[in-house]
Every structure is written in structure tokens, then in C-alpha cells.
């Protein structure tokens, strides 16, 4: 196990650029992280290096569903899921590839659920760079397909796979994304406020591992921490909705 402090200090030591971009913001919003919880909450680390388990086409998956920044789904949806993830987290990748498409097709598409991504970056420099790129895509309301591609092409943790070329190729593969505008946003912003806000929200919600789903409805709120299957998530959605 490793605390958030050990993980983040390692990030700062390995990348002075990241320290300048986001160090102060995230340290202010310090959160105790059990890094092994990323993969260990359900006892499995998940797939890596290309996401061969699913390869759900982002164009098909998100077609016709409203996107607003990091929010996916209709604003009036009675149930909201706050999804806490790190783009390097193997279990997050497994969830994104294996479980999330079914959740989107069965609950988000029909307007019953909206999902808000709370993008965390505590596993290392690659996490921060991936998060920044996703936030730049969110500026054009293309966060979700870009995030899907990040998880489908997930590499080994802290291997340096999140290069400028890697991120640019994913941007080119994101249908409808203006790559020039995305590149300018990425170059011109540290997105430290977004990273800080995500850390603060995680801390206030008592979230200490990824992936975590905080499912809120008219009746109540429930937290699912770790790799839950679709059936468990569906039951919780129905429970908090109560309609």
C-alpha cells in the first residue's frame, strides 16, 4: 500500500514540469490515497496496454447522448453517478472497457442516469498528462470519447507511455474534436483548478480509492468502491431512484 503523499511526491520528483503545472494545487487538496485500492479493492488489476477486453466504439457508445464538460447524460436525469477514476488505474480501465458501456446503454441513454467524471491524477506523471488532455477535450464537450480512448489504450503504470504524440493521436481519433483548438488549450492551460477541485471533491466525499462510484438519487446516496459488476451497480441505481 502507498499513501497519496508517497505517490504524489514520487510524481513531483520524477517530473519537474508536473510539479510546476499542478503540484501546489493538488497538495492543497491533499487526500489520503490507498494506491493499491486502484487495483486491489476487488482483487484484480484488470487489462492493460490496449484494452482488448471490449474495444467499444466511442462514436457508437456516445452517439446522441448530451455531453457537457465532464458530464454525460441529460441534465434532468433523476440519478447522478460521480465516477472517480485515474487514467492509469488498471481497475478503472477494466471498468471502462467491461462495465461502463452497458451502464451507458441501459441507463444514461434513456435519461435515467447522468454520469459526472471526477478525474483524479495521483499515480504519477502519466496520470496528470492524461487528465490534462481529457480536460482539454472536455472544453469542446468531447471528454467522454477521449477518455474512452485513453482507457482502451492504457499502458503500464508510469512507463512514460503518455507522450505528446500519444495524446495527439487519440485527439485525432476523437470524432468531432477540433485538434488544433484542443492542442492550443492543452498548451495554454495547466488545468490545475480542475485537478484541485477533483481532489477536494474526493476528500469531501470520503473517496480513498479508484474506481469509486457515488450514486445519488431522490431517495438516498450510496458509494461503491472498487470493481463492481453491472448487476450490483444496476441494483444500486434502482435503490437510490426508488421510482
pLDDT value at 135 more than 60: yes
Question: Which pTM was predicted?
Answer: 0.81
What's the whole-number average pLDDT of the chain? Answer: 83
CATH, residue 173 = 3.40.30.10
pLDDT digits (tens, 9 = 90+) for 147-191: 999 999 999 999 999 999 999 999 999 999 999 999 999 999 889
DSSP SS3 for 68:
strand
194 touches 135 (CB < 8 A): yes
Q: Which residue range forms the structural domain that includes residue 67?
A: 4-241
Which of 56-60, 81-85, 177-181 shows the lowest per-residue confidence on average (mean pLDDT)? Answer: 56-60
Q: How many domains does the chain have?
A: 1
pLDDT at 73 (0 to 100): 98
- Cα–Cα distance measured from residue 238 to residue 135, given in angstroms and rounded to the nearest whole number: 31
Amino acid at each position: 500500500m502507498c499513501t497519496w503523499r508517497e505517490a504524489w511526491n514520487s510524481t513531483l520528483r520524477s517530473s519537474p514540469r508536473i510539479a510546476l503545472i499542478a503540484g501546489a494545487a493538488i497538495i492543497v487538496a491533499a487526500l489520503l490515497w490507498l494506491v493499491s485500492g486502484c487495483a486491489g479493492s476487488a482483487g484484480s488489476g484488470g487489462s492493460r496496454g490496449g484494452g482488448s477486453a471490449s474495444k467499444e466504439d466511442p462514436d457508437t457508445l456516445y452517439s446522441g447522448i448530451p455531453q457537457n464538460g465532464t458530464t454525460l447524460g441529460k441534465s434532468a436525469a433523476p440519478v447522478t453517478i460521480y465516477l472517480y477514476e485515474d487514467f492509469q488505474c488498471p481497475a478503472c480501465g477494466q471498468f471502462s472497457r467491461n462495465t461502463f458501456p452497458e451502464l451507458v446503454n441501459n441507463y444514461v441513454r434513456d435519461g435515467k442516469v447522468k454520469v459526472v467524471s471526477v478525474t483524479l491524477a495521483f499515480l504519477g506523471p502519466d496520470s496528470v498528462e492524461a487528465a490534462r488532455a481529457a480536460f482539454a477535450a472536455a472544453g469542446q464537450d468531447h471528454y467522454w470519447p477521449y477518455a474512452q480512448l485513453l482507457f482502451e489504450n492504457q499502458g503500464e503504470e508510469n512507463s512514460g507511455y503518455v507522450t505528446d504524440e500519444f495524446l495527439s493521436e487519440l485527439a485525432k481519433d476523437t470524432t468531432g474534436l477540433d485538434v488544433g483548438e484542443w492542442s492550443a488549450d492543452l498548451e495554454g492551460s495547466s488545468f490545475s483548478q480542475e485537478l484541485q477541485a477533483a481532489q477536494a471533491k474526493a476528500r469531501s466525499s470520503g473517496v480513498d480509492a479508484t474506481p469509486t462510484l457515488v450514486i445519488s438519487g431522490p431517495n438516498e446516496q450510496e458509494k461503491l468502491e472498487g470493481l463492481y459488476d453491472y448487476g450490483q451497480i444496476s441494483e444500486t441505481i434502482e435503490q437510490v431512484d426508488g421510482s
